Amino acid sequence: MKTLDKIPTGKIERASKLVKTGAKIGGNYAKYFGKKIINPDTTKDELNEDNATDIYDGLKSLKGSALKVAQMLSMEKNLLPNAYVEKFSLSQFSVPPLSAPLVRKTFKKYLDKYPEEVFDTFDKDSINAASIGQVHKATKNGKNLAVKIQYPGVAQSISSDLAIVKPIAIRMFNLKGKDSEKYFKEVENKLVEETDYILEVAQSQEITKACKVIPNIKFPEYYTELSSERIITMDWMTGMHLSEFAKTNFSQATGDKLGQALWDFYMFQIHGLRKVHADPHPGNFLVNDDNELIAIDFGCIKEVPDSFYVPYFELARPEIISDDEKFTAKLYELEILMASDTPEEILFFKSIFHQLLSLFTSPFHNERFDFGDEVFWGKIAALGEQFSSDKQIRKMNGNRGSKHFLYMNRTFFGLYNLLHDLKANIIVNDYKKYLD
């Protein structure tokens, strides 16, 4: 794979890159409409493919926050056309890496030594390159190590990158008014945390220590003395990316075993620690030869305050959903309904969220739940199609819900998709035995 000798770090330089990408997209639309005139039956498939390719190609050379947003969107399988999902999913673990000279420069700046001075061996070619950093294999004192190196300029360009992608997000998610700023601030704060590798090491050590009580999931050890604000050193973990494993001919028993470990891992964090690994995409999990799960990235951790946790999970209870008065009260607590809403808006959003919550909380209403059930996923797809084609939604103020929904919903959506990939049938409340 081609390597990068330089990453644009200045605001003007990064913005001009995206302007060029925008020009390409404009050309794609012109080509599409030209074909549409000649052949009215022309679909948007080719347009989506061309746009997805050009957007991804533009973002992958920038890396950082812009590419991270693409990674987040790749998980929204019911929101975007498939061409975008497939192309953006590459940002999880397949983007051009930094060149060897740039890697050495980063080491010298943040550890005051070159890699060969720190480790016994250090592979100059990266094993994995994603949105914020890339991973190299190294050895020291007989241990195989993974060394994650953050791309230059990523931390400094977060605010400017988000300002560039904000108009896209506003259109995509129908955000209106000044109140939308709280969502962008939440994303910005999380991205700032993700670029702080000292914080990541501390979070990784805290959460992995607590979660070792859960069977069938393993974690690397982290080495503070070999880490810094832009470099993390941890144990090298051997396994297959979960996305690749999901394509193999694994047994139902194996899928259930891995799925149960994944479910218990997340429920233990949410209900026991009140903080959670909020980046559940397949690139962050491996499966080893013993069919055990390995969690390898704790950069994005979402703390769940009681003021949100309590009403959020009360809405998962059937007796709350079925009681109009209690249901309405929880919607106000979670900022889904607002005092300024018109009677029309109240009825509209109550109806929408009643449908959504009745479906998405259904796993919590059973002793066991089969995430391989295609009927369940068919209902999700149908609901997504219904809402995407509902013209009334576009007319309503889309700023709905507490800022905490962003990463909590992302967590559950990602978790559900991983469990679906594994076709896992899980015991819903099994995690409770690991809580104090």
Question: At residue 279, what are phi and psi to the nearest 5 degrees?
Answer: -135, 60
Predicted confidence band at 31 (pLDDT cuts at 50, 70, 90)? low
Q: Bridge partners of 294?
A: 218, 286
Residues 6+ apart with CB under 8 A from 254: 291
**How far is residue 231's CA from residue 412's CA, in Å, rounded to a whole number?**
29
**How far is residue 84's CA from residue 52's CA, in Å, rounded to a whole number?**
5
Question: What percent of the chain clears pLDDT 70, i.e. is strictly above it?
Answer: 71
The per-residue pLDDT for 76 is 46
**For 321-369, what is each residue's pLDDT tens digit?**
999 999 999 999 999 999 988 998 899 889 989 999 999 999 999 999 9
The per-residue pLDDT for 153 is 78
Prediction pTM value: 0.81
The per-residue pLDDT for 75 is 43
424 vs 132, higher pLDDT: 424
- Among 287, 140, 135, 294, residue whose Cα is nearest residue 223: 140
- Among 400, 395, 392, residue whose Cα is nearest residue 338: 400
- Among 311, 153, 145, residue whose Cα is nearest residue 227: 145
Predicted confidence band at 263 (pLDDT cuts at 50, 70, 90)? very high
Answer positive or negative: Cα dihedral of 62, 68, 69, 75. Answer: positive
SS3 content of the chain, % helix, strand, coil (to 5): 60, 10, 30
The per-residue pLDDT for 179 is 63
**How far is residue 63's CA from residue 391's CA, in Å, rounded to a whole number?**
35
Looking at the predicted structure, is the pLDDT value of residue 37 above 70? no
Predicted confidence band at 401 (pLDDT cuts at 50, 70, 90)? confident
Question: At residue 123, what are phi and psi to the nearest 5 degrees?
Answer: -75, 120
Predicted confidence band at 416 (pLDDT cuts at 50, 70, 90)? very high
**How far is residue 312's CA from residue 243's CA, in Å, rounded to a whole number?**
29
Contact (CB, 8 A) for 298 and 200: yes
**For 38-76, what is each residue's pLDDT tens digit?**
556 556 666 666 665 666 565 655 555 555 655 554 444
Predicted confidence band at 218 (pLDDT cuts at 50, 70, 90)? very high
The per-residue pLDDT for 92 is 45
164 vs 216, higher pLDDT: 216
The per-residue pLDDT for 55 is 61
Predicted confidence band at 162 (pLDDT cuts at 50, 70, 90)? confident
Token digits for 312? 């959020």
94 vs 274, higher pLDDT: 274
Largest CA distance in the chain: 68
Predicted confidence band at 396 (pLDDT cuts at 50, 70, 90)? low
Neighbours of 289 (CB within 10 A): 8
**For 121-131, what is each residue's pLDDT tens digit?**
999 888 887 77
Residues 6+ apart with CB under 8 A from 229: 110, 196, 197, 198
**How far is residue 168's CA from residue 421's CA, in Å, rounded to a whole number?**
29
3-state secondary structure of 6: coil
Give mean pLDDT, residues 187-200: 89
Amino acid in position 86: E
Amino acid in position 317: R
**How far is residue 436's CA from residue 425's CA, in Å, rounded to a whole number?**
25
The secondary structure element, H or E, covering residue 262 is helix 252-268
The per-residue pLDDT for 78 is 45
